[in-house]
């Protein structure tokens, strides 16, 4: 089959990890006789440097006319002056909004081979298999008004948390659908004891739940959820929550696996439109260009891309199995290595995954 994939390497370690994913996709194409056409575009800080715009029109056009988009990371100290007129992150937020990808799926699975990489005790994290469904195109990230203002001659700033019923309903529905194919439990996370937007969130969630009598629903306040993710992470199945809460909780949840460098994500919108796939980690400027970044979160995002956007389920499984095998064989990038373990570099890790794919039946 023929597919067009836009690659957005971005900043920091983005180009290094996306390069490995591209090699993985090329190996999949060879093995399964597909033809993947790659288009590479600028986003974030590198796009600001080249064009002054973190999301050039050309990039957006390429994304919207692709079958899927794979992104590395955006941002870095070079562009993080709070007084700067444009920021790399605006490119990513603009892209999510323009693609209409309202649901960000962040699966957190603790692989047995990596159980010791977690800062939590093995008995706490064994068997963790949860997925965070983060609302991605609303809430505090996009609410208006937003920006600096002056109150009584004093500097002030405002952000707005606003949700419409339809924005809540579609993402919560997606969470329930997902739960049906899993352990049939949805945890909705809000701050309904304080926030009006959370009270609406809870109301709509219960309306949606009425259509899914086979799925259990629990409501948890976001502060309690932060605690339960550490004290009883294996109890969660599908967690659904608004944009900002999901951003914070997914970084926390990544630590169950030992490293932010392991977590993939898929951002999905209306069926039939391209999805956006990205690791949940950032651009890690401190290690950029050194060839030591963990490419597995991006490679696992590539597996999600194969499955959700290209409908290539078998190919996705081959990639995921290869990653599991490489880890079981003891390969470790610096972020997941024990102090006495040898460290595998970014490209070497990519090569090992490709070899494991080629040697699988």
The residue ranges that bind ligand IPM (CB under 6 A) are 74-75, 89, 92, 247, 280, 282
Instruction: Say if strands 2-10 and 35-40 run parallel, antiparallel, or are unpaired.
Output: parallel
Span 244-273, contacts to Mg ion by CB under 5 A: 247
Nearer to Mg ion, 167 or 247 (CB): 247
Q: Is 340 considered catalytic here?
A: no
| 242 near Mg ion, rule: CB under 5 A | no
- Looking at the DSSP bridge assignments, the partners of residue 149 are 156
Closest by CA to 302, choosing from 52, 32, 72, is 72
Only one residue has tokens 């892209």, namely 95
Kindly state the number of chain residues that form the binding site for Mg ion, as judged by CB under 5 A: 1
Nearer to ligand IPM, 73 or 352 (CB): 73
Q: Which helix (H) or strand (E) holds 283?
A: none
CA atoms of 7 and 249, how far apart (whole Å): 27
* Nearest residue to ligand IPM, by Cβ distance, number only: 89
Q: How many CA atoms lie within 13 A of 328 on its CB side?
A: 9
Closest by CA to 211, choosing from 239, 183, 268, 173, is 173
- Given the rule CB under 5 A, which of 34-42, 212-220, 241-249, 305-313 is the region that contacts Mg ion? 241-249
Q: Is 223 considered catalytic here?
A: yes
Nearer to ligand IPM, 265 or 344 (CB): 265
Nearer to ligand IPM, 215 or 260 (CB): 260
Give 3-state DSSP helix, strand, coil % of the chain, rounded to 5: 45, 20, 35
- Looking at the DSSP bridge assignments, the partners of residue 103 are 135, 268
225 binds, among Mg ion, ligand IPM, none (CB under 5 to 8 A by kind): none
Q: Which position among 61, 112, 116, 223 bears the catalytic label?
A: 223
Q: Is 251 considered catalytic here?
A: yes
Q: Which position among 184, 251, 273, 317 bears the catalytic label?
A: 251
Q: How far is the CB of 290 from ligand IPM (least distance, A)?
A: 21
Q: How far is the CB of 302 from ligand IPM (least distance, A)?
A: 17
89 binds, among Mg ion, ligand IPM, none (CB under 5 to 8 A by kind): ligand IPM
Q: Are 329 and 349 in contact (CB under 8 A)?
A: no
Q: Which residues contact 30 (CB under 8 A, 6 or more apart)?
A: none
- Other beta carbons less than 10 A from residue 220's beta carbon: 18
Q: Long-range contacts of range 78-84, CB-CB < 8 Å, 24 or more positions apart?
A: 78/45, 78/285, 79/11, 79/44, 79/45, 79/48
Phi first, then psi: what are they for 283, rounded to 5°?
-85, -5
15 binds, among Mg ion, ligand IPM, none (CB under 5 to 8 A by kind): none
Q: How far is the CB of 276 from ligand IPM (least distance, A)?
A: 10
261 binds, among Mg ion, ligand IPM, none (CB under 5 to 8 A by kind): none
Q: Are 295 and 346 in contact (CB under 8 A)?
A: yes
Q: Which position among 191, 212, 277, 335 bears the catalytic label?
A: 191
Q: Is 247 considered catalytic here?
A: yes
Nearer to Mg ion, 247 or 278 (CB): 247
Q: Which residues are catalytic?
A: 141, 191, 223, 247, 251
């Amino acid at each position: 089959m023929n597919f067009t994939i836009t690659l957005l390497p971005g900043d920091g370690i983005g180009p290094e990890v996306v390069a490995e994913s591209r090699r993985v996709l090329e190996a999949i194409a060879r093995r399964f006789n597909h033809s993947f056409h790659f288009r590479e575009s600028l986003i974030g800080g590198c796009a600001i440097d080249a064009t002054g715009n973190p999301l050039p029109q050309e990039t957006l056009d390429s994304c919207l006319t692709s079958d899927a988009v794979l992104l590395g990371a955006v941002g870095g100290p070079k562009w993080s002056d709070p007084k700067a007129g444009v920021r790399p992150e605006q490119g990513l937020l603009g892209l999510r909004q323009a693609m209409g990808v309202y649901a960000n799926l962040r699966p957190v699975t603790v692989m047995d081979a990596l159980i010791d990489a977690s800062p939590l005790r093995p008995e706490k994290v064994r068997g963790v298999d949860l997925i965070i469904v983060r609302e991605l195109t609303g809430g505090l990230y996009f609410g208006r008004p937003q920006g600096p203002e002056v109150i009584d001659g004093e500097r002030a700033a405002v952000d707005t948390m606003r949700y419409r019923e339809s924005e809540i309903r579609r993402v919560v529905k997606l969470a329930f659908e997902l739960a049906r194919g899993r352990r049939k439990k949805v945890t909705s996370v809000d701050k309904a004891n304080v926030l009006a937007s959370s009270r609406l969130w809870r109301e709509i969630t219960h309306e949606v739940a009425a259509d899914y009598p086979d799925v259990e629903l629990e409501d948890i306040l976001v502060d309690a959820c932060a605690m339960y993710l550490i004290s009883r992470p294996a109890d969660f199945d599908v967690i659904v929550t608004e944009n900002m809460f999901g951003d914070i909780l997914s970084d926390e949840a990544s630590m169950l696996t030992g490293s932010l460098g392991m977590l993939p994500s898929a951002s999905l919108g209306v069926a039939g439109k391209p999805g956006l796939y990205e690791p949940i980690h950032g651009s890690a400027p401190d290690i950029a260009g050194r060839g030591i970044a963990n490419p597995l979160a991006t490679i696992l995002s590539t597996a999600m891309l194969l499955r959700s956007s290209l409908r290539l389920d078998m190919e996705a499984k081959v990639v995921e199995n290869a990653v599991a095998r490489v880890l079981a064989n003891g390969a470790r990038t610096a972020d997941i290595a024990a102090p006495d373990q040898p460290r595998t570099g970014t490209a070497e890790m990519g090569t090992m995954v490709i070899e494991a794919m080629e040697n699988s039946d």
